[in-house]
Every structure is written in structure tokens, then in C-alpha cells.
Amino acid sequence: MVELHRDGELIDRHDEVYFDMLGEVLERLIDDGRWRLIGVSVIDAKASRQRQAVPA
């Protein structure tokens, strides 16, 4: 049995989870897909202008 708890509350439960199913069950429980989103933050606009390609 595999259970997902958040702040002490049972969110989801899967009974009869066998070893060969464990990875797939854990993926469904904990992967919300946010890892697929890419975030870009400009820290300093001046620093980005200084990093220009040097002509060969």
C-alpha cells in the first residue's frame, strides 16, 4: 500500500502496489508536471549586455 499525505491529511491511497508498479504509482502521486515549465529571470540587465560574443 502507498499513501500520499499532505499536512497530516490523506490525499490518495493505492492498495496492492507491487514492486514493478512502484515507480509508476509514485510518479502519478507526486509528479504535478511543474518540472516541465521553464522560468527565466533577468537578474541584471547591465550584466547581460556585457556578455556579447567576441568576433572570431
Supply the DSSP symbol for 27.
H
Residue 54 has what pLDDT?
67
Q: Which three cell numbers stand for residue 50?
A: 556585457
Domain range for 40 is 2-50
Residue 13 has what pLDDT?
94
Residue 48 has what pLDDT?
55
Within-domain flag for 55: no
Within-domain flag for 20: yes
CA distance 33 to 11: 17
Number of structural domains, the chain?
1
pLDDT tens-place string over residues 1-56: 999 999 999 999 999 999 999 999 999 898 888 888 888 888 886 655 556 666 76
| pTM of the entire predicted model | 0.51
Within-domain flag for 23: yes
Within-domain flag for 56: no
